[in-house]
A and B are shown apart, each in its own frame.
Chain A
Amino acid sequence: MRLTILNGRVVDPAAGTDTIAPLHVADGRIAAIGQAPAGFVAQNTLDARGLVVAPGLVDLAARLREPGFEYRATLESEMQAALAGGVTSLSCPPDTDPPLDEPGLVEMLKHRARGLDGAQLFPLGALTVGLKGDVITEMAELAEAGCVGFSSGPEIAIDTQTLLRSMLYAKTFGFTVWLQPQDPQLARGGVAHGGPVAGRLGLPGVPVVAETVALHTVFELVRSTGCRVHLCRLSSAAGVELVRRAKAEGLPVTSDVAVHHLHLIDVDIGWFDSHYRVHPPFRSQRDRDAIRAAVADGTVDAICSDHSPVDDDAKLMPFSEAEPGVTALELLLPLTLKWASEAGVPLPAALAKITCAAAPILGVDAGRLQPGAPADLCLFDPAEHWVVERDRLRSQGKHTPYLGRELEGRVRTTVVAGRVVFSRPA
């Protein structure tokens, strides 16, 4: 199967390419950009005039809700959402039911995903059995089954001795440990940023120290073990500053933020709008501004969707009782572009955060356009305005603060391994 994409603006953040040129695909891989290789004859062509031809997006965190939460979302619905969002590689956290703590579960998930012909799936395994924090999982077996890293779940709900030992064990095999820096005791009962807004609304707060205390602990354990750690979903100014210093010190750490944390703050909760209930909570404007700066300066390596489909019954509840999480796979690109345009970040640098900077954290070959690389592509119209509408979201999760809002930048065509797997009529 040979395909040529004509007239598109080919942007490859990894190589610094930004040029209008044809892109040639053969046998599921990129054959050339510009001049076709000798003897190359396209079987199909695609006109990408006015579109950006970017690497398929790499999302570090998308909950697909299988196994166990099929009433919230299924692999089918969320893979469709991924492709509609231009996401061709995604990592799913292990907080399913049961958690991804056995090779059989991971193999089943990979097998189901392969059958769906969607985005490439890279599961994270549970760091401890049942995510309970006492017995470490068979990490080597899980890695063979397809896990690309090991996560302790939405908090570091694991005692420090077990955490230290699990990091040593992961380090033995060269695995990356994914930790969301939140101290479960300090965050206990909290549902909103522990600041004046929560104080005024009478909502129990998650203080910033829940993040910073966890980060201090993790950094000490990294110094002690040398284990590579990926820090998930930073939320505070103090938190990103600690990560900045840890990186300057040379610790083997990477980090990400959820795309909505680049835009929203605790004030946006308004009168208890549970669409704004997320984990970690939206913090102050100062925190939001520091996160934006940290993404721009590289302290934060990647932006992810933190896609978490939630059903109506769990979301249409009083704020403190509502399930945290928003649907975001289909908003990852436009919300990243929104940040880039507001912050004056050039398009290639912005795309890097959702492509070539994210792929190495997963340790996979994705997110770039060089000849020989897998032909996973996202073709989008950077100028198209569209309104986020509940019924037009592919995801089974319909809850996002952006419902009814207009965004700029829309995916038109998604290509996985050289095959067009999604296209939206103009």
Chain B
Amino acid sequence: MRHPQLNADGKLQHLLTIEGLPRETIHHILDTAASFVGVSDREVKKVPLLRGKSVFNLFFENSTRTRTTFEIAAKRLSADVLNLNINTSSAAKGESLLDTVDNLSAMHADMFVVRHAASGAPFLIAEHLNRIRGPHVNVINAGDGRHAHPTQGLLDMYTIRHFKKDFTQLRVAVIGDIMHSRVARSGIHALTTLGVPEVRAIGPLTLLPPGLEQMGVRVFTDMREGLRDVDVIMMLRLQSERMRGALLPSAQEYYKHYGLTEEKLALARPDAIVMHPGPMNRGVEIDSSVADGAQSVILDQVTFGIAVRMAVMTILASN
């Protein structure tokens, strides 16, 4: 059976997940992104690659930050952009997800950027659009539940490649709430695909999903042990609703054991880079001195994110 994000020619029609994406495809996206990094520095920050195309940002879950980066990426490619925030109340009015998609599709969108709180929702949308519109419409997953956030995973890889060049000699630690994190899942698939020999997951047992070992990950519950000699530290955001409940007792205790401080950072390699998908909880998962410190590449991630999203949109539109 064909992977649902590929068209009949085996080319990428949608970007739904990094899982199953060949290594060459990832590098192709990153190479294409590299060619766009300069665009943002030019006086005229536009290229005409998506002129005449309509990109619909279809956000069933609010996220100003991610939506904005997609919007900027589409506009720099000269596309027309429409932002649709479909909060849960309009779903409560009775319109089903696919009815919503049908309606928007009738407005001739060429590309849908979808964020949804349910894992897998963009797969359903992509499959439905294939059925009603054929192969000339694209879906980009901008985050689905706990499952995947492929453009974030790709911009993280872009950042790592930018600073570390070679993936095949690295130790990478992903730290925090892996259970609920689509960023972690996409990052892990990308890292293992790109040949990173040691991917570590660090967190309390309540925040580690089953099956990490099968994904090629070494699990640590002791952050100090897990940080030893790593080259890349990928911190995850801890959602505020998880900070106090049956998964964690308090933000303070979490910070003490899993917050990235200068003292813990010193256990990693001296040239280790620190990443975070944002928005950060300073003093919960990361100390301000680390977030703003010399090893932090967090703002670089944001810059690269635009170029990576431009690359993904361009490649999908050209396939």
Interface centre among B1, B128, B211, B212 (most CB of A within 10 A): B211
Q: B119 to A196, Cβ gap below 8 A?
A: no
Q: Which residues of B contact A204 (CB under 8 A)?
A: 146
Out of B16, B96, B144, B211, name the residue touching A200 (CB < 8 Å).
B211
User: Which B residues lie within 8 Å of A200 (CB)?
Assistant: 19, 185, 211, 214-215
Cβ of A313 < 8 Å from any Cβ of B?
A: yes
B118 and A318 contacting across the interface, CB-CB below 8 Å: yes
Q: Looking at the complex, which one of A194, A195, A203, A270 makes contact with B119 (CB distance below 8 Å)?
A: A203
A272–B144 Cα distance when bound, in Å, is 12
With A316-B124, A317-B124, A320-B145 as given contacts, are A201 and B119 in contact (CB-CB < 8 Å)?
A: yes
User: Taking each of A203, A316, A318, which has the highest tally of chain B beta carbons within 10 Å of its own beta carbon?
Assistant: A318
Residues on B with C-beta less than 8 A from A34 are: none
A318 touches B124 (CB 8 A): yes
Check A220 for interface membership: any CB of B closer than 8 A. Answer: no
Question: Is B209 interfacial (CB-CB < 8 Å)?
Answer: yes
What bracket does the count of chain A residues touching chain B fall in? 20 to 34
- Counting CB contacts under 8 A, is A198 at the interface? yes
Question: Is the Cβ of A318 less than 8 Å from the Cβ of B97?
Answer: yes
Identity of the chain B residue whose Cβ is nearest the Cβ of A320 in the assembled complex: B118
B212 with A321: CB separation less than 8 A: no
A318's partner among B1, B121, B185 (CB-CB below 8 A) is B121
- Indicate whether A196 sits within 8 Å of B211 (C-beta atoms), given known contacts A318-B120, A319-B120: yes
Is the beta-carbon distance between A317 and B96 smaller than 8 angstroms? yes
Whether B211 lies near A272 (C-beta < 8 A) is no
- Evaluate whether A202 and B148 lie within 8 angstroms (CB atoms) in the complex, with A316-B96, A318-B97, A319-B120 already known: yes
Question: What is the CB-to-nearest-CB distance from B159 to chain A, in angstroms, rounded to a whole number?
Answer: 23
A202 touches B145 (CB 8 A): yes
**A318 and B210: CB pair below 8 A?**
no
Q: Are B4 and A271 in contact (CB under 8 A)?
A: yes
* Interface pair B123/A271, CB less than 8 Å apart: yes
Contact A202 B214 (CB under 8 A): no
Query: Are B211 and A202 in contact, CB atoms less than 8 angstroms apart?
Result: no
A404 contacts the other chain (CB 8 A): no
Residues of B within 8 A of A133 (CB): none
User: Is residue A181 within 8 Å, beta carbon to beta carbon, of the partner chain?
Assistant: no
Chain B residues with CB below 8 A from A203, complex form: 119-120, 145-147
Q: Could you tell me if A319 and B210 are in contact, using CB atoms closer than 8 angstroms? A: no
Verify A271–B120 contact, CB threshold 8 A: yes
Assembly CA distance A272 to B125 (angstroms): 12
Give the complex CA separation of A118 and B96 in angstroms: 35
Q: Which residues of B sit under 8 angstroms from A197, Cβ to Cβ?
A: 211
B145 & A317 in contact (Cβ 8 Å cutoff): no
| Neighbouring B residues of A196 by C-beta, 8 Å | 210-211, 214-215
Determine whether B200 belongs to the interface, using a CB cutoff of 8 Å to chain A: no
- In the complex, A99 has a CB within 8 A of chain B: no
Q: Is the CB of B118 within 8 A of A199?
A: no
Minimal beta-carbon separation of A204 from chain B (angstroms): 8
Bound-state CA distance A321–B185 (Å) is 21
B124 — which chain A residues lie within 8 A by C-beta? 272, 274, 316-318
In the assembled complex, the Cα of A205 lies from the Cα of B211 at a distance in Å of 12
- Residues of B within 8 Å of A321, CB to CB, are 118
Least Cβ–Cβ distance between B218 and chain A, in angstroms: 15
Q: Are B210 and A195 in contact, CB atoms less than 8 angstroms apart?
A: yes
| B276 contacts chain A at the CB level, 8 A cutoff | no
Q: Which residue of A lies closest to B120 (CB)?
A: A272
Residues of A within 8 A of B185 (CB): 200, 202
B141 shortest CB reach to chain A, Å: 11
B96: chain A residues at CB < 8 Å are 313, 316-317
- Nearest Cβ distance between residue A55 and chain B, in whole angstroms? 40
In the complex, the answer to whether A205 meets B123 with C-beta atoms within 8 Å is: no
List of A residues within 8 angstroms of B4 by Cβ: 271
Q: When chains A and B are docked, how far (Å) is the Cα of A319 from the Cα of B120? A: 7
As a 0/1 sequence over residues 182 to 212 of chain A, the CB contacts with chain B under 8 angstroms (1 = contact) are 0000000000001111111111110000000
Q: Which residues of B contact A274 (CB under 8 A)?
A: 124
A202 to B145, CA, bound (A): 7
Contact with B along A303-345 (1 / 0, CB 8 A): 0000000000100111111000000000000000000000000
Inter-subunit contact B120/A201 (CB<8 Å): yes
Identify which of A204, A205, A321 gathers the most chain B CB atoms within 10 Å of its CB.
Answer: A321
Is the Cβ of A205 less than 8 Å from the Cβ of B120? no
- Determine if B309 is an interface residue (Cβ-Cβ < 8 Å): no
Closest A residue, CB atoms, query B128: A316
- Least CB distance, A146 to chain B, in whole angstroms: 36
CA distance A319 to B117 in the complex (A): 11
- Measured CB to CB, the closest approach of chain A to B21, in angstroms, equals 14
Shortest CB distance B191–A (Å): 15
Given A271-B4, A272-B123, A319-B119; A201-B147 close (CB under 8 Å): yes
A184 CB to nearest chain B CB (Å): 15
Chain B neighbourhood of A319, CB < 8 A: 118-120
| Chain B window 214-242, contacts with chain A (Cβ cutoff 8 Å), 1 for yes, 0 for no | 11000000000000000000000000000
Chain A residue numbers with a CB within 8 Å of B209 are 198-199, 202
Question: A199, A316, A318, A320: which contacts B211 (Cβ < 8 A)?
Answer: A199
Q: How far is the CA of A313 from the CA of B100 in the complex (A)?
A: 12
Taking CB as reference atom, which chain B residue is nearest A198? Answer: B210
Bound Cα distance A195, B211 (Å) = 6
Question: How does the 8 Å CB contact mask read for A260-280 relative to B, with 1 for contact and 0 for none?
Answer: 000000000011101000000
Considering the chains assembled together, what is the distance between the CA atoms of A128 and B1 in angstroms?
47
The reply to whether the CB of B115 lies closer than 8 angstroms to some CB of chain A is no
Closest to A272 in B: B120
- 18 A-B pairs with C-beta separation under 8 A: A198-B210, A199-B209, A199-B210, A201-B147, A202-B145, A202-B147, A203-B145, A204-B146, A205-B210, A271-B16, A316-B128, A317-B96, A317-B118, A318-B116, A318-B121, A318-B144, A319-B118, A320-B118
**What is the interface of chain A, defined by CB distance below 8 A to chain B?**
194-205, 270-272, 274, 313, 316-321
Q: What 5 additional pairs, Cβ within 8 angstroms, besides A202-B148, A271-B120, A317-B96? A: A196-B211, A202-B182, A272-B119, A320-B119, A320-B120
